[in-house]
Amino acid sequence: MMDQKQILKQMIDFNKATFDNSFNAMIMLQEQTERMSSQLLDQAAWLPEDGKKAIADWVSAYKTGRDDFKKSVDDSFKKVTEFFEQT
């Protein structure tokens, strides 16, 4: 019979894999939406350049936040894994 430590490690690994797969799917969807939006904005003669720049800045800030969130989650998974490896 597996010990509790091994079961917990498998649960953590499963949760990390699930998170990574979901996060990667979200990124793919966001990138596809960004490409389509970018093409639309390129054709939007009615939108001033300041508006286009504001949207580009917003997308950049969103990506930075997304990357920071991923790093935070990865760090948390690493800490929890290290904790269970020590016990």
Within 8 A by CB and 6+ apart from 55, the residues are: 37, 41
Tokens found for residue 76 = 């948390």
Q: How far is CA 80 from CA 8, 11, 19, 28, in A?
A: 10, 11, 15, 28
pTM over cut 0.85: no
**Rounded distance between C-alpha atoms, residue 71 and residue 23, angstroms:** 12
Give me the average pLDDT of each 10-residue run along the chain (87 residues): 82 96 97 92 88 91 96 96 82
- pLDDT the model gives residue 87: 66
- Please identify which residue in the block is written with the tokens 């996060």: 23
